[in-house]
A = this chain, B = another copy of it.
Amino acid sequence: MSDTQTPEIEESLFEAPPIAEQERMVEAVLFASADPVTIAELNARMPHGCDAGEALVHLQKRYEGRGVHVIKTGNAYAMRTAGDLSFLMQKETVETRKLSRAAIETLAIIAYHQPVTRAEIEEIRGVSVSRGTVDQLLEMEWIRFGRRKMTPGRPVTFVVTPDFLDQFGLESARDLPGLKELRSAGLLENRPPPSLSDALDEEREDSDENQTELFEE
């Protein structure tokens, strides 16, 4: 290190601080500095007669194997956290969001009518089902593809997954309450004509027996 020589020449004028003290100084400067610091800058900041280069060597050795390292970047020095500890610098935040209304409705239709095609979902919902909604449910692994339907075009169907059952605490999709039960639980607010509701409930029971038939009439 070329800088090493200069202070020794001037040593006669000022007593330089002990090397351990110089090491402390370099440590503090490297810690607090917003940019990497060159040896020249260190020497300029430290008291007369100091040898930043030598102090740095000591410091580097001291931090070997520690959680923090002294590294050289260009011709300047800086302190950095050890690479193997980078996982500590990540903070995983888990954000819980409510599922969108479209997603809930789509999921509900799949659960009640599985296996069900996209066209059938759209027919029931009365609006088109966005690709994103289905993708989201697939990604969450709450639905999956069922077997293709034996109708023209052989469309894919969707069914719910064991994850879904797990999430909603159900033994099987058949445990989902029918409309009559929903109403008696106060989940249906408007009262449909009695004949229609009975029909729907019957339809539900039918679909429990053989869901595939539901849309093939």
Cα distance, A82 to B27, chains bound together (Å): 10
A9 at the interface (CB under 8 A from B): no
- A 16-35 to B, binary, CB cutoff 8 A, 1 in contact else 0: 00000001111111011110
User: How many copies of this chain does the complex contain?
Assistant: 2
For the complex of A and B, list the 3 residue pairs with the smallest distance between their C-beta atoms, beginning with the closest. Answer: A27-B67, A24-B67, A28-B67
A127 at the interface (CB under 8 A from B): no
Cα distance, A132 to B91, chains bound together (Å): 39
Query: Which B residues touch A85, using CB under 8 A?
Result: 24-25, 28
Are A45's CB and B79's CB within 8 A? no
Query: Which B residues touch A65, using CB under 8 A?
Result: 24
Cα distance, A105 to B129, chains bound together (Å): 59
Enumerate 7 A-B pairs (CB-CB under 8 Å) in ascending A order: A24-B85, A25-B67, A28-B85, A31-B67, A33-B92, A45-B88, A46-B88
Residue of B nearest to A62 (CB): B66
Cα distance, A26 to B81, chains bound together (Å): 11
